[in-house]
Amino acid sequence: MRTVRLGKTGIEVPQNAFGALPIQRVSTEEAVSLLRNAYEGGMRFFDTARAYSDSEDKVGKAFEGMRDKVFISSKTMASDKKKFTEDLDTTLKNLKTDYIDIYQLHCAPRCYDENDELYLALVDAKKQGKVRHIGITAHKIGVAEEIIKSGLYETLQFPFSYLASDRDIELVKSCKEHDMGFIAMKGLSGGLLNNSKACMAFMSQYDALPIWGIQRQSELDEWLSFFENEVTMTDELKAVIDKDRKELLGEFCRGCGYCMPCTVDITINQCARMSQMIRRAPSQNWLTEHWQQEMMKIDSCIECGICKTRCPYELDIPTLLKKNLKDYKEILAGKEI
């Protein structure tokens, strides 16, 4: 397993890390077991956030008494210094620690600089020893590029998978040039990619630390298998990647959910990508009565546009929903998938 250095932080870990967003969906017992099994299997970097409900608490329980053996990153969506301080104190309490290895501003709408209280709060927290390194996460490429140019942050977390554009790849290279750690989120593009070997082989070509979102032991086993059987790019895996890129590139929903809630209760983060999910997972899972009812809610869309303002990828969500509904209705009518 290749080792990745997160820029000027000096943190060096295997290029195979744990994204703890999904563990909020399982019991504490299951989550603690997953996290400890991940550590025993070789993972050393674990990413969570205040926004992930009880994820931090579960990470804290898993690594209590062995804090010095793992690297933990967390995040705050605070919009002012007061909320930042509250979030940081809560995170430290949840994680049962007196420091966080990397603390990040979560889903930043812009590059916060020396004139912003949030950036100054990060710097102050580092001076106090509560935070060892400061980072930031973004979804918009322009914002990410400004962050790198600023030279103010030690790490950048950004979506990166083998559906990446040339501009995305240049972003990763630019981080390396600026000695900035790059943490890759959404390495499976919100569940659209289902070949773990291809995903791992792609990541191995770059100085990026992927944080795979893990919810089940079977998923963890796949990622842990690469510690014993290192994956490198092959012609066969390139063919898988090329096929997926042809099918998926363009405007597609990553399922992040930042657009929610919907004014008329549409499950946007699933319905807006139904055409892909129904073809890339067992189709019957998406043809149940439940999902038929959910999809038909699209007919009640009032095109208020609120979802468009929230989407970090600036997608035309109402149009995307209608395209997916049209395809879904045709499938229900007998169109071959």
**How many Å apart are CA 301 and CA 263, to the nearest integer?**
8
- Beta-bridged to residue 133, according to DSSP, are 102
Q: Contact 129/149 with Cβ under 8 angstroms? A: no
Long-range CB contact pairs, 319-326, < 8 A, 24+: 320/251, 320/253, 320/272, 321/266, 321/268, 321/271, 321/272, 322/298, 323/275, 324/271, 324/272, 324/273, 324/274, 324/275, 324/295, 324/298, 325/271, 325/274, 325/295, 325/296, 325/298, 325/299
Q: Identify each DSSP E strand in 32-130 by its residue range.
A: 45-47, 71-76, 100-105
What single DSSP character describes residue 260? Answer: P
State the first-to-last Cα distance of the chain, in angstroms, to the nearest integer: 38
Tokens (6 digits) for 276: 């892909």
Q: What are phi and psi of 255, to 5 degrees?
A: 75, 20
Q: Contact 304/268 with Cβ under 8 angstroms? A: no
**How many Å apart are CA 272 and CA 269, to the nearest integer?**
6
Query: Among this protein's residues, is 52 annotated catalytic?
Result: yes
Catalytic residue among 52, 112, 162, 328: 52
**How many Å apart are CA 67 and CA 97, to the nearest integer?**
7
Which residues belong to the active site?
52
